[in-house]
Amino acid sequence: MLIVGLLSFFQRRARRLPIDSRLPFLEGRFAIVVPLDTIGSLSNRWSYGFAFGAISSSVLLLFSERYVPFSVPHWARAVVYLVGALEVGLAYFPFFACLSTPFRGAGAVLGILYSVSWIIVTLWDTCTCPAGKVLGKYQKVIVQWPCILSLIFLLGRFTYMLVKAVRIHLQLEHEEHQVQHVKRLLKKTPAHSSESLSWFQSRVYEWDPCFKFPNRIIGTAILSLIGLYTITLADYSLSDLAFDQLDKWRDTLQQLTVACNQSEALVGLVPELEEFTYVARKSWLGTTFFASLTSVAYTFHVLACYRKHLKRLWAGQKGFLPEKFHKPSSAVSVAAIARYSGWQIAFTLWGYLIVHFVQFLFALFFVYLLILPIIHGKALTMLTNLGIILLTIGLVVGLVILQIALVQIFFLQEKMSPTDKQKPLALNNRKAFHCFNYFFFFYNVVMGFSNCILRLLSSIVVGTWLVSRIDRTIMQRGYEGMDPGYSTWIGMIFADHYHNNPVMVCFCQLLVSNILERDPATVYSTFNNTSSGQYSGVLDFIVEQLDLICHAGANLVQAPKSAANHTGGVATRHNQNSITHQYNNSCV
């Protein structure tokens, strides 16, 4: 609280309050301290990410109730979780406040002191009591090292801020990359630009220097990765203990079988139970790695989807979204920003457990279907049964393909042009088609039963496999609103789109800069326009590029609609000045 109070004292309120007239010596001090800008800030992103990493152990502790010193009724657990979350947020608030404060020197000094105190306390707790019930004698060392590493990084960051005495202009970095994005929109796209991409860029990830992830997204990804690391360790240790307990029960059952000689059912059950425990242990431990790898891949894939979806919205493309989500509520979108980080972390951790269980079931199915029959000398029987299953599936699929082939050959009219890729949707041999449809009706009824079960199983597998993918819905079309995670994702990307659209931000900055150049004493002087010269150069660049586009009318027709719409408002200096004049009149 002392650090927050000091930072609040350094800042001045932009809007005067009645208390300022009673206490004029404060000069508007004690303003609100903002820990981080979750919407528009794109500077110090990795510092904020490691600040989130420093609180990872405390955030994961919220999933348990060990921090509650007393028992509470079940109905009050939601309040307890809220109090615990507020406690964690207050304890780590100074890290974010020292990073975001405009008073870099004071923030660096206070951040160094707070980081050193946290490092000392964490190391002392880890060294004096390293053991735990789950991971053994070095549990805290294994669990706490990401947190300690993040604290050391923050200490280095605050030290760098103090030694260099650099005043970091957050808006400057934000403007530079957005200006580059607008410049790229106005440049002519090469006809074969995709040929220069490497294999990794074309198939895995293409780096975009004109796009930067907000600190909220980076912090969420780091917390998710640290959470996956912790929950994977806990999963490995707890599953080992669980299988050890299962082995003890198996031994007890075996002793009971020896004591009761007449229990023939138990005698036959013991070897099967012993085999099952062995297979289950190996399958669970083996799928731990694949489940972790899947969850890590999902975490990075969500980042790629965030960039892809946001760039589509910048281009005016909403076709990838359900129609009901094309205009989300403003309140829902802003609230989604507050919900997203916590929900994404929780979805990632739950998704790991669910995906792990699904992969475990597939591993058991694979072992009992293929591996164990070979070990027991029943490979021929297994291959026979497998051949029958594959033959049945092949016949079913073959008959479906046969129906399509017959329709393609006999019941569709010929192509209207030799260059057409397929025949037109026009019937030929109608009477024969009606007979064909009649006889296959009875067969398709039988096929419908099996396909219904297959559809249900596919939905279950895909839904559980993608439960942590908050960027896509697991509900069917028309029921997307019942997926709260997907609704949060849509609201979040729309809020970021409205607040951080590079074209709109650059246009508004150019508008304000032009007003300040003509009348520096206007109300717009509250804006930070130290880099207005940079934007005048950008305006010259825009005018030059638009002149070239206007001379090449054919190229303008082929340009995206979104780029034309975005740049039409600043076509010339004359238009820009006229818009500025209209804007002044409307504001007055």
Q: HEC profile for 329-394?
A: CHHHHHHHHHHHHHHHHHHHHHHHHHHHHHHHHHHHHHHHHHHHHHHCCCHHHHHHHHHHHHHHHH
Contact (CB, 8 A) for 126 and 144: yes
Residue bearing the bigger pLDDT, 34 or 386: 386
Residue bearing the bigger pLDDT, 84 or 460: 460
pLDDT exceeds 50 at position 521: no
pLDDT tens readout for residues 219-238: 888 888 988 988 898 888 88
Quickly state the pLDDT bin for 39 (edges 50, 70, 90).
low
Predicted local confidence at residue 584, as pLDDT: 40
Of 513, 530, 535, nearest in space to 170 by CA: 530
Calculate the average pLDDT of the chain. Answer: 75
Q: Report the alpha-carbon distance of residue 437 to residue 473 in Å, rounded.
A: 36
Quickly state the pLDDT bin for 292 (edges 50, 70, 90).
very high
pLDDT exceeds 90 at position 535: no
Predicted local confidence at residue 222, as pLDDT: 87
Q: Report the alpha-carbon distance of residue 153 to residue 158 in Å, rounded.
A: 9
Q: Report the alpha-carbon distance of residue 66 to residue 83 in Å, rounded.
A: 14
pLDDT exceeds 80 at position 56: no
Predicted local confidence at residue 500, as pLDDT: 79
- 482 token code pair: 């019942």
Predicted local confidence at residue 564, as pLDDT: 39
pLDDT exceeds 80 at position 147: yes
Phi and psi at residue 218, in whole multiples of 5°? Answer: -65, -45
SS3 303: helix
What's this model's pTM, rounded to 2 decimal places?
A: 0.68
- 502 token code pair: 């590079």
Element (H, E) at 397: helix 379-410
Contact (CB, 8 A) for 152 and 95: no
Predicted local confidence at residue 362, as pLDDT: 92
Contact (CB, 8 A) for 118 and 28: no
pLDDT tens readout for residues 301-345: 888 888 889 888 888 888 888 888 888 888 888 888 888 888 898
pLDDT tens readout for residues 71-126: 777 777 777 778 877 877 788 888 887 877 777 777 778 888 888 888 888 888 88
Quickly state the pLDDT bin for 127 (edges 50, 70, 90).
confident
Alpha helices in 466-572 (DSSP H): 484-500, 502-518, 532-551, 553-558, 561-567
Predicted local confidence at residue 479, as pLDDT: 84
**Cα distances (Å, whole numbers) of residue 5 to 27, 263, 393:** 16, 75, 71
**Cα distances (Å, whole numbers) of residue 24 to 9, 13, 27:** 14, 13, 6
- 401 token code pair: 């393909």
pLDDT exceeds 70 at position 546: no
Structural domain boundaries in the chain: 382-483, 494-587
Q: Report the alpha-carbon distance of residue 32 to residue 35 in Å, rounded.
A: 10
Nearby residues of 68 by Cβ (< 8 Å), 6 or more positions away:
80, 84
Predicted local confidence at residue 566, as pLDDT: 43
Contact (CB, 8 A) for 4 and 94: yes
Nearby residues of 42 by Cβ (< 8 Å), 6 or more positions away:
170, 173, 174, 177, 212, 213, 214, 215
Contact (CB, 8 A) for 382 and 373: yes
Of 494, 493, 474, nearest in space to 484 by CA: 474
Residue bearing the bigger pLDDT, 166 or 211: 211
Quickly state the pLDDT bin for 473 (edges 50, 70, 90).
confident
Quickly state the pLDDT bin for 264 (edges 50, 70, 90).
low
pLDDT tens readout for residues 547-572: 444 444 434 334 444 443 444 444 33
Which DSSP symbol is given to 528?
A: -
